[in-house]
Amino acid sequence: DVKVTQSSRYLVKRTGEKVFLECVQDMDHENMFWYRQDPGLGLRLIYFSYDVKMKEKGDIPEGYSVSREKKERFSLILESASTNQTSMYLCASTESGLGELLNQPQHFGDGTRLSIL
């Protein structure tokens, strides 16, 4: 089974801090994603990466950056945390491909509930 591991289940930080959320997958997937989940808003894509050192902005990238130095690891960075970034953050991965491979699901981690005080 695919395993996507997020380093923290709960995290509390202060405004202005630099925050790192880490995600590791064990299935050699090319594609990795960071989503933010808020009540009533569903999941929204922050950033994604299709290869090492490659990154693309999603729908809500403002205030975030990412790093992918190794294929298995994808980090989300809050450069200067603000209270409006209090949320649940979900990491996901999937293999790349065309045709039938596109019906492969994204595999999600258990989420990090981040509180910014």
Partner 1 sequence: AQTVTQSQPEMSVQEAETVTLSCTYDTSESDYYLFWYKQPPSRQMILVIRQEAYKQQNATENRFSVNFQKAAKSFSLKISDSQLGDAAMYFCAYRSSSGGGADGLTFGKGTHLIIQP
Q: Which residues bind partner 1 (CB under 8 A)?
A: 30-31, 33, 35, 40-45, 48, 50, 56, 58, 88, 90, 92, 94-98, 101-106, 108, 110-111
36 vs 82, which CB is nearer to partner 1? 36
Q: Looking up tokens 């298995």, which residue turns up?
A: 72
Per-residue CA distances from 80 to 66, 85, 99, 100 (Å): 14, 10, 41, 41
Minimum CB distance to partner 1 smaller for 17 or for 56: 56
**Residue 98: count of CB within 10 angstroms of its CB:** 6
Select 63 or 95, whichever has its Cβ closest to partner 1.
95
